[in-house]
Structure 1
Amino acid sequence: MKRITSHRFAMAAVALATALAAQAAQAQWFPYQAEVTEPAFSATGTRKPIDYTPLPKASKKWRICVSVPHMKDAYWLGVNYGVAEEAKRLGVEMQLVEAGGYTNLSKQISQIEDCVARGAQAVVIGAISGDGLDNVIKSVAAKNVPVIDVVNGINSPDISAKSLVSFYTMGQASGEYLAQKHPAGSPAVKVGWFPGPAGAAWVEAAHKGFMEAVKGSAVQVLEPKFGDTGKEVQAKMVEDVLQGNPDVAYIAGTAVTAEAAVGIVRARQLDKKVKLLSFYMTPGVYDGIQRGRILAAPADSMVIQGRIAIDQAVRLLEGKDVTRHVGPKIFVVDSANIKSVKQDNILPPNAFKPVFNVK
């Protein structure tokens, strides 16, 4: 009997220690180095550094809906991890819906409408289109439901807050990385460029930043290939560019592009000749950099963007001070600094599975 009691006590102690460790790990994400844009929502606003600290707890169990374009790649899985973990930490309900891809704007609109009809008190949106959600956002905001723009960028004047980085800066950082390697006067290099789905605000911003950064350098960008961030779509476009341009030196673009291209260039025995670059970070890209198969990528800490969006929603619902336009500080990760980067700050855990509801 004593042995059983001791065993149960030991199991309880282990469970308690695990729970406390999990709580401690959650608490360690803040304060986080970020940048606030002033005035908020301005495309030409000034970015200033801040240390972002969220609320310790929500005052009640608010109901928050999170709408994302899809869950087909690890980037949105990272956002999912951020919103789910912050909802748990703050003590609010979270429902996540995904539209299935960047071609499904009407589905995202109907999902947002359904969320509000079911009683969502705030909506966090990773938008399929920068302008295509204007009407539904106007309708939601008219019901006094705060709308938080996360990651992708929304142009509507009816949003309440933004948790995102400048994808112009992300594209610019990637372009500058190449331009520094191939400055004006050095031998020209051809780059296949895959910015993502046409029409998405984040894609347009990243494309502009990348193109402006390589201007005047020895980098020659082939005709941009726009397309959905599903792996099959990106892989097909990469195959086409490699087939039509045997002298291409770089494949640059979305994280899905880089991840898909790893296997393609190795199969073609081009991995020594064609280098890969992503303009944002995912677990696959991080692993590729570690293994020397992907050159570099800026880190935009998508997990933190998701966490901040949930905190902003709660602050708005509770009438508390809110930083209305903020995002994590961007930095480029490559083989030179990857060992010093804390992975948990910028990516979800390797074993994380999608979480659609937090009660």
Structure 2
Amino acid sequence: MNRPKEIVRICKILMAALVGVFLTGYAHAETWSAVTWEKLLDFTSPRKSISYEPLKQAEKAWSICALYPHLKDSYWLSVNYGMVKQAKKLNINLRVYEAGGYYQLEQQRKQLQACADSKPDAILLGTVSFEGHHDLLEEIAKDTPVIALVNNIRSDFIAAATGVDWDEMGRRTAQVITKRHPAGTASVNVSWFPGAGKPGISSTKLSAFKSELTKSSANLLKTRYGDTGKLIQLSLIEEELEGGTAPDYLIGTGVSAEAAIGALKVRGLSEDIEVVSGYLTHGVFRGIKRGKIIASPTDQPVMQGMMAIDQSIRLLEGKPYLKHYAPEILMVTKDNIAEIDLECALSPASFSPTYTVEAQRNAETKSN
């Protein structure tokens, strides 16, 4: 059977047994494939790929408080699913807050303080701001370990981090264009919708995207910032389509890509303008499958949620843990979509936002 050169198994949980071990009747432990950096939240530091064995159970019913920027799209919903899944597996308590959007710094600051006041054992912070919580974290971190979740943040008071290099996400997105239109070929026009453009978060992705795009024949017409709510992104796309020079490509967040499909169809432009997504959502997956979206990188948000829970419990129990790790970033295209395993990339269609997981007091004890 011929398989694409690109690695397409998004969920990299390996459950196979080694042949020799299998013959003796003992199954090989579950492992995750991940990338780890030498320095916390420093993506310029040396990195390496590893195989990582997650915990089978926690020593006690720890309490974790998690904060998300929002639950407006299926990206953070998938992070939520991964965290809930792993919290239930380890039989711990989980409380989730969501700020309502990347412009809701004051709301998240209030939630962060409320989270700390509830005296959790650890806090997982999916921040809306690179530095906006610095003063609060200086006090909170004295009593409670804070782990960075998905988004980059100033590291002074951060104990550990689960999250990919967003520069790499930006580069991988731009490479869709550089491969199609290398420098020296006929020029094309690109419009870019990177989200809120928050310093240290989507701004780093934007910088890497622009840098990579210089290797192509593309002209970046306009960069339109906005919160990742679907109506806001649709409005930005409509403004771009009603402007002067027409783009050949609309590139942006998962929400932007989803909105672009409908906007192009209404205007009869689906054959003239193509769409690229900066991350994978359920709608983006369907769009790629239908040929409406060319490609998308995925940082496996379900797996990030699972990894963050595992990391926090290891830290609390004094067990060896990686200070900063994340799943591998993989590309999804129409050529490989039939072989994609979504278990660690997207939440099930039936899953809805879950804000509380309570440990089962009489849960059966399992040997580790």
In structure 2, C-alpha distance between the alignment counterparts of 1:164 and 1:320, rounded to whole Å: 20
In structure 1, C-alpha distance between the alignment counterparts of 2:196 and 2:189, rounded to whole Å: 22
Native 8 Å contact 2:40 2:155 kept in 1: no
In structure 1, C-alpha distance between the alignment counterparts of 2:295 and 2:244, rounded to whole Å: 22
Instruction: Tell me by how many angstroms 1:343 deviates.
Output: 1.2
In structure 2, C-alpha distance between the alignment counterparts of 1:190 and 1:30, rounded to whole Å: 46
For 2:206, give the aligned amino acid.
Answer: H
1:1-80 alignment, distance < 5 Å: 30-80=30-80
Instruction: Tell me by how many angstroms 1:220 deviates.
Output: 0.9
Residue deviations 1:165-201 (CA, integer Å, cap 9, x gap) = 0110001001111111001111111111011102252
Partner of 1:323 in structure 2?
Answer: 322
- Identical aligned residues as a percent: 37
Partner of 2:167 in structure 1?
Answer: 168
TM-score (norm 2): 0.88
Bigger RCO (CA 8 Å, 6+ sep): 2
Residue deviations 1:47-80 (CA, integer Å, cap 9, x gap) = 2101122111110000000100111111110010
Instruction: Tell me by how many angstroms 1:202 deviates.
Output: 2.4
In structure 2, C-alpha distance between the alignment counterparts of 1:47 and 1:222, rounded to whole Å: 34
Instruction: Tell me by how many angstroms 1:27 deviates.
Output: 9.6
Instruction: Tell me by how many angstroms 1:41 deviates.
Output: 2.4
Partner of 1:248 in structure 2?
Answer: 247
Residue deviations 1:202-226 (CA, integer Å, cap 9, x gap) = 2012101111111131011122111
Residue deviations 1:63-110 (CA, integer Å, cap 9, x gap) = 000100111111110010011111001111000011111111111111
For 1:204, give the aligned amino acid.
Answer: S
Native 8 Å contact 2:41 2:155 kept in 1: no
In structure 1, C-alpha distance between the alignment counterparts of 2:245 and 2:215, rounded to whole Å: 24
Instruction: Tell me by how many angstroms 1:259 deviates.
Output: 0.6
Instruction: Tell me by how many angstroms 1:32 deviates.
Output: 2.1
Residue deviations 1:244-263 (CA, integer Å, cap 9, x gap) = 14531000010010011110
Q: Which consecutive segments of 4 or more residues in structure 1 shift more than 3 A?
A: 26-30
For 1:168, give the aligned amino acid.
Answer: D
Partner of 2:140 in structure 1?
Answer: 140
Structure 1 residues 289 and 30: CA distance shift in structure 2, 3 A: farther
SS at match of 2:219: strand
Native 8 Å contact 1:129 1:154 kept in 2: yes
Structure 1 residues 27 and 89: CA distance shift in structure 2, 3 A: farther
Partner of 1:224 in structure 2?
Answer: 223
Native 8 Å contact 2:169 2:297 kept in 1: yes
In structure 2, C-alpha distance between the alignment counterparts of 1:66 and 1:321, rounded to whole Å: 22
SS at match of 2:224: coil
Partner of 1:206 in structure 2?
Answer: 205
Instruction: Tell me by how many angstroms 1:30 deviates.
Output: 4.7
Instruction: Tell me by how many angstroms 1:344 deviates.
Output: 1.2
Native 8 Å contact 2:301 2:344 kept in 1: no
TM-score (norm 1): 0.90
Q: Tell me the matched-pair count.
A: 333
Native 8 Å contact 1:137 1:156 kept in 2: no
Structure with the bigger percentage of helix = 1
In structure 2, C-alpha distance between the alignment counterparts of 1:40 and 1:231, rounded to whole Å: 33
In structure 1, C-alpha distance between the alignment counterparts of 2:153 and 2:256, rounded to whole Å: 24
Of 98-107 and 192-201, deviating more is: 192-201
Native 8 Å contact 2:170 2:209 kept in 1: yes
- Unaligned runs of 5+ residues in structure 2 are 1-12, 16-28, 359-368
